[in-house]
Structures are given as structure tokens and as C-alpha cells.
Amino acid sequence: MKDCIFCKIIKGKIPAKKIIEMTNVIAFEDANPSADTHILVVPKRHIETFMDINKEDNEVLVQMLRISQDLIKSEKLEKKYKLVINGGEYQFVPHLHWHLLGGEMKKEAK
């Protein structure tokens, strides 16, 4: 596993506000939220980008989807949410994640 910032959060080496966890996936609050609710849904395995997902990751993807649905329900975001995956120059942390954004977007958010 690479020693990237999200791997460190997953290993508990640096703190994060964890919200929910499954065997293969963790969700925690974004440190610099772009919306009222801004949660990162992250596989525990170090997959670098969206394009690196392979067929062994089917269970990971199912858990990412399931956790997202559970969060949309538990955070009451049904009326206003987005799921966003950044890639290429838009991706700053080189460990696959998607953003669950809910409620109002902050003005500075793209």
C-alpha cells in the first residue's frame, strides 16, 4: 500500500471525522467542505484513480454505492445531493474517492 494521505487516514495514522465504515470502504468528512455536507467515500485498498478500478474491485464498488445510499438517507440529503469523481488535473489526492455533496454548495466550490 502506498503511503498516501488517505492510506494514513485508513490506518489511523492521521485523524479524520469517520462517519461510517464497511469491510472495504470508509467514509469521512472532507477537511475543507465545499457544501453543507461533504463526505469522502474511499476504498481501503489503494486504488489510485477511477481508471485503475479493475474487475477484482466489484465488491469495493458495491460497498461504495451502498455506503453512499445509506449516507444520503441518514444525512437526509435526498432532495439535494451530488456524487463527484475527479480525475486527471482535477484530482489532488491520488487515492480513489468520490465526493458526496449535499445541501447548499459553498460559493467558492466549482
Neighbours of 72 (CB within 10 A): 18
Residue 28 grid cell: 469521512
CA 71, CA 54: separation in Å to the nearest integer? Answer: 25
Please pick, from the candidates 46, 50, 75, 86, the single residue that binds Zn ion as defined by CB under 5 A: 46
Which entry of 38, 95, 97, 99 is annotated as an active-site residue?
A: 97
Shortest spacing between CB 56 and ligand 5GP, in angstroms: 23
Establish if 8 lies at the interface with Zn ion (CB under 5 A): no
8 A C-beta contact, residue 54 and residue 15: no
Catalytic annotation on 97? yes
The residues binding ligand 5GP (CB under 6 A) are: 5, 16, 28-32, 40, 86, 90-93
